[in-house]
Chains A and B, each alone.
Chain A
Amino acid sequence: ILNVEQSPQSLHVQEGDSTNFTCSFPSSNFYALHWYRWETAKSPEALFVMTLNGDEKKKGRISATLNTKEGYSYLYIKGSQPEDSATYLCALRMDSSYKLIFGSGTRLLVRP
């Protein structure tokens, strides 16, 4: 059974704090690693798709890194804002199909 693990499960930070969370995955048969942001009552929204070891992606205050050899990805949020409050999901794609194996997510709450 393949497991994609995310930590922490939940995180409460103060507005302006920077934060990061981890996605761990089996490093064999790697194809791509996805990050999604899921706000309450909305649809999951793609943040990044990462394919190469050492990849770094950035979108505004959010960035992500990828290490396929050791099987982890970090998501960073600089200067958290209340609107960043959401569940952040990572998902592993192992082959050419579109099947994604999701972690359980990190629920982030940013207090004003």
Chain B
Amino acid sequence: ETGVTQSPTHLIKTRGQQVTLRCSSQSGHNTVSWYQQALGQGPQFIFQYYREEENGRGNFPPRFSGLQFPNYSSELNVNALELDDSALYLCASSSSLTEKLFFGSGTQLSVL
């Protein structure tokens, strides 16, 4: 059983650029959620995907978008990056059989 993996681990971008973050779910999990953790705060829910469809969204603008693929891996895309997008982005997978979320180690994004 493989865990949740995220790539890259660190990324530096400049304001206005676009970024894609990737996540491989734990084997057997069909739901993936993305969270943003800014410094000093708890993780904030961005959105969730279930069987390749968006299944809930937090208070984030449309320039935050995502995809889930048939193998349940996922991408988070952020367009027109802003300085405030600098944060740790966490991916978490789950299934209908387990209440718990299984997290990856995150991608640390810095926007300069």
| Interface, chain A (partner B; CB < 8 A) | 4, 6, 32, 34, 36, 41-46, 49, 51, 89, 91, 93, 97-105
Residue of B nearest to A93 (CB): B99
Q: Which of B29-46 contact A (CB under 8 A)?
A: 31, 33, 35, 40-45
Name the contact of B99 in the complex, choosing from A45, A49, A97 (C-beta under 8 A). A49
Tell whether, in the assembled complex, residue A105 and residue B42 are in contact, meaning their CB atoms are under 8 Å apart: yes
Tell whether, in the assembled complex, residue B104 and residue A98 are in contact, meaning their CB atoms are under 8 Å apart: no
Knowing A32-B99, A43-B103, the reply to whether A4 touches B31 (Cβ < 8 A) is no
Cα-based distance from A105 to B99 in the complex (angstroms) = 20
Q: Which of B43-70 contact A (CB under 8 A)?
A: 43-45, 48, 55-56, 58
Chain B 51-93 near chain A by CB (<8 Å), digits 1 or 0: 0000110100000000000000000000000000000001000
- Ordered by A's residue number, 26 sampled pairs between the chains whose C-beta atoms are within 8 Å are A4-B42, A34-B99, A34-B100, A34-B101, A42-B105, A43-B4, A43-B105, A43-B106, A44-B43, A44-B90, A44-B101, A46-B102, A51-B99, A91-B42, A91-B43, A97-B56, A98-B33, A99-B33, A99-B48, A99-B56, A100-B33, A100-B43, A100-B101, A102-B42, A104-B40, A104-B41
Residue of B nearest to A49 (CB): B99
> Which residues of A are found within 8 Å of B104, using beta-carbon distances?
43
Count of chain B residues with Cβ under 8 Å from any Cβ of A? 25
Whether B94 is near chain A, meaning CB under 8 Å from some CB there, is yes
Tell whether, in the assembled complex, residue B99 and residue A100 are in contact, meaning their CB atoms are under 8 Å apart: no
Residue of A nearest to B106 (CB): A43
Name the contact of B42 in the complex, choosing from A32, A43, A103 (C-beta under 8 A). A103
Tell whether, in the assembled complex, residue B103 and residue A44 are in contact, meaning their CB atoms are under 8 Å apart: yes
> Which residues of B are found within 8 Å of A42, using beta-carbon distances?
105
Cα-based distance from A39 to B40 in the complex (angstroms) = 15
Cα-based distance from A60 to B48 in the complex (angstroms) = 32
Most buried by B among A4, A32, A89, A102: A102
> Which are the 7 A-B pairs with shortest beta-carbon distances?
A102-B42, A46-B100, A43-B103, A49-B99, A97-B56, A44-B103, A104-B42
Cα-based distance from A93 to B33 in the complex (angstroms) = 13
